[in-house]
Amino acid sequence: MTATHTTTSRRPPLHPPLPFTKMHGLGNDFMVLDATRQPIALRPEDIRAMADRHFGVGFDQLLVVEPGPSADVDFGYRIFNADGSEVEQCGNGARCFARFVHDQRLTDKRRIRVQTCAGTIVLHVTDTGNVQVDMGMPRCSPQEIPFTAPAPALLYPVAVGDKTVELAVVNMGNPHAVLRVADVDSAPVATLGPLLESHPRFPARVNVGFMQVLAPDRIRLRVYERGTGETLACGTGACAAVVAGQRLGWLGRQVTVLLPGGPLQIDWQGEGHNVHMQGPATRVYEGLWHWPEMPPAM
Ligand SMILES: N[C@H](CCC[C@H](N)C(=O)O)C(=O)O
């Protein structure tokens, strides 16, 4: 009896390999795609596959560089979390964005205006290689977060799990909840983070910052990020923590934010002013994303 083998060959991938650059801002890591010459259409399931740290490239966020949508901005900037959700802002990503467009010779400007789906931010590439970002105006009223609350307040009691926590809320283009803790090392990031991220009072979900105040000009911060989980650094989270801390009288105008991945300098002159952030942007490697082969035709 001869065995009969029926082999159904896998079909070639639908798309050609996709060049990318792997970067990070204080360990908050990114896959960066250049869509300035041709559009790149990605489905959430494609992004989740790319984000997988075993079967894919692995990243906290995917950054897509696009042509400026109007004459007064230099580039478009789209941001996707590892879960495939598109979001409004990414502070560490903005610094890597500036480094990327310079390295790729897409611009030689030192002052770069970038449009995200939440508005325009301005990036400044310094001589030291650090990048300064004007992160725009913080917004703190509940409806601007969005957050369900009977009235505006500096701190809100929120029932979560079997406890009630006090949190501040800030929108930096994206939504943030900020809790003050005695010690970030023992903060319940892994348990409280996901419960608050998807809490019903945050209809668009939320990034959750755990802040330990060391001095009016120095804090430690850990962030459980919406759509990604805890990251080594969160730029918009650092901005939100300084805004919340200043409004509550705990912090001054220039604050060093010590994140697990390293320090960020945040400067906020108070109500009516934009928040400014300064920090590094690091290129790690260039790569090619090979699309999964198509399963055999049924
Ligand atoms: N997870 C965030 C986006 C990335 C923000 C963070 N990586 C930063 O540096 O600001 C959100 O869903 O709003």
User: In ligand 1, which atom is closest to the CA atom of 93?
Assistant: 9
**112/212 same-domain check:** no
Query: Does 295 fall in a domain?
Result: no
Q: What are phi and psi of 289, to 5 degrees?
A: -85, 120
What's the pLDDT at 16? 87
- CATH number (domain holding residue 223): 3.10.310.10
Q: Is the pLDDT of residue 151 over 70?
A: yes
The answer to whether residue 207 is domain-embedded is yes
Residues 103 and 151 in one domain: no
Averaged over 29-38, what is the pLDDT? 96
32's tokens: 């960066």
- In the set 90, 96, 140, 239, the catalytic residue is 90
- Domain assignment of residue 240, yes or no: yes
Per-residue pLDDT tens digits for 168-206:
999 999 999 999 999 999 999 999 999 999 999 999 999
Q: Which residues are annotated as a binding site for substrate?
A: 28, 61, 81, 91-92, 174, 207, 225-226, 235-236
- Report the distance separating Cα 233 and Cα 128, nearest Å: 21
Ligand 1 mutation pick, 26, 30, 61, max ligand atoms within 8 A of CB:
61
User: Is there a single domain that holds both residue 132 and residue 146?
Assistant: no
Name the band, by pLDDT with cuts 50, 70 and 90, for residue 12: low
Residues 98 and 124 in one domain: yes
Q: Give domain status of residue 99, yes or no.
A: yes
Counting atoms of ligand 1 from 1, which one is nearest the CA of 233? Answer: 9
Sequence length of the chain is 298
Categorize the per-residue pLDDT at 292 as very low, low, confident or very high, splitting at 50, 70 and 90: confident
Residues 118, 151 within the same domain: no
Residues 115 and 211 in one domain: no
The reply to whether 90 belongs to the active site is yes
Q: Is residue 298 part of a domain?
A: no
Within 10 Å of residue 40's Cβ, how many Cβ atoms? 16
Q: Which domain holds residue 43?
A: 2-136+282-290
Ligand 1 pocket mutation pick from 26, 31, 86, 174 by most atoms within 8 angstroms of CB: 174
Q: Which residues of 13-31 are buried (b: 16+ CB within 10 A; e: fewer)?
A: eeeeebebbbbbbbebbbb
3-state secondary structure of 245: helix
- Total domains in the fold of the chain: 2
Residue 61, domain member (yes or no): yes
Q: Has residue 13 got a pLDDT over 60?
A: yes
Ligand 1 — pocket residues by CB below 6 A? Answer: 28, 60-61, 81, 87, 90-93, 174, 207, 225-228, 231, 234-236
- How many CA atoms lie within 13 Å of 168's alpha carbon, on the beta-carbon side? 27
User: Among 10-14, 268-272, 291-295, where is mean pLDDT lowest?
Assistant: 10-14
Q: Which amino acid belongs to residue 211?
A: M
Q: Count CA atoms closer than 13 A to 61's CA, side-chain side.
A: 31
Is the model's pLDDT at 45 over the cut of 80?
yes
Cβ atoms < 10 Å from Cβ of 190? 10
User: How many angstroms separate the alpha carbon of residue 191 from the centre of ligand 1?
Assistant: 19
Confidence of residue 68 (pLDDT cuts 50, 70, 90): very high
Structure tokens at 105: 């010779």
Pair (161, 255) in one structural domain = yes
Judgement on whether residues 105 and 227 belong to the same structural domain of the protein: no
**Which residues on adjacent β-strands are paired with residue 165?**
158
Closest residue CA from atom 5 of ligand 1: 90
Would residue 117 show up in a list of annotated catalytic residues for this protein?
no
- Write down the mean pLDDT value for the chain: 94
User: Using one digit for the tens of pLDDT, what is the confidence trace for 97-113?
Assistant: 999 999 999 999 999 99
Which two tokens mark 158?
A: 């929120």
Give percent of the chain above pLDDT 70.
94
22 close to 100: Cβ distance less than 8 angstroms: no
> Is 297 among the domain residues?
no
Judge whether 296 lies within some domain. no
Residue 229 pLDDT class (50, 70, 90 cuts):
very high
The single residue of 96, 140, 234, 239 carrying the catalytic annotation is 234
- Shared domain for 212 and 235, answered yes or no, is yes
| C-alpha distance from residue 247 to each of 30, 141, 169, 262 (Å) | 31, 13, 11, 24
